[in-house]
Amino acid sequence: MWIADEQKWPHWDQQEQAAAYEQMTSDEQTTCKTTVVTTVHNKSSPQHGLHLIIDMNRYNRYNKLLRVLAYVLRFVKNCSSPKTERYQGSLIVRELHAAEMKVIQNCQATAFHEEIHNMRSPSSARLTLVKK
């Protein structure tokens, strides 16, 4: 059944919609779960990594850190790509996933530097998995 008379059609006020949307997004932002990413700096930490490029403690939201890092990685990739193959516009899921993998790899490399170095070394003497 169609409503032929336009006077009976529902009417939505755009300003009310915008205000409702802003309220909805601000409510979502206040109820979001906060994830804190910190880096461990000790004398055995590697001399290279994301912590030298981006201060991860500067960003109070994990998603914000991922987006900033994704744009940095895109910039680096675009610098070495021909103009016809450069990415522009909004980030895509693959770029955000790559940024998240870089954060995880950086945290692991920082926290487990000694273990990673030991596994990559050709020596047969390995660290014990459980410290006594």
| pLDDT, mean of residues 105-129 | 80
User: So what's the pLDDT on residue 120?
Assistant: 84
Q: Specify if 8 maps to a domain.
A: no
Q: Give CA–CA dist 72/52, Å, rounded.
A: 13
Quick check: 110 pLDDT over 50? yes
Quick check: 94 pLDDT over 90? yes
Domains identified in the chain, total number = 1
C-alpha distance from residue 125 to each of 66, 119, 129 (Å): 38, 10, 12
Give the model confidence (pLDDT) of 67-81 as tens digits: 999 999 999 999 999
> Of residues 13 and 37, which shows the higher confidence score?
13
Q: Specify if 50 maps to a domain.
A: yes
Q: Specify if 7 maps to a domain.
A: no
Four-residue CA torsion sign, 118, 119, 121, 123: positive
Q: Give CA–CA dist 88/65, Å, rounded.
A: 19
Among the residue ranges 29-33, 100-104, 120-124, the one predicted with the least confidence is 29-33
Average pLDDT, the chain: 77
User: So what's the pLDDT on residue 132?
Assistant: 61
Q: Specify if 18 maps to a domain.
A: no
User: So what's the pLDDT on residue 55?
Assistant: 82
Give the model confidence (pLDDT) of 30-77 as tens digits: 555 555 555 555 544 456 678 778 888 888 899 999 999 999 999 999
What region does 4 belong to: left with phi over 0, alpha with psi -120 to 50, or beta?
alpha
> Of residues 1 and 15, which shows the higher confidence score?
15
Q: Specify if 24 maps to a domain.
A: no
Q: What are the DSSP calls for 47-97, one per residue? A: S-SGGGTS-GGG-SSHHHHHHHHHHHHHHHHHHTS-GGG---SS--HHHHH
Q: Specify if 42 maps to a domain.
A: yes
Q: Specify if 20 maps to a domain.
A: no
Q: Specify if 1 maps to a domain.
A: no
Burial 39-52 (b: 16+ CB within 10 A, else e): beeeeebeeebbbe
Query: Which residue range is the domain that position 48 belongs to?
Result: 36-119
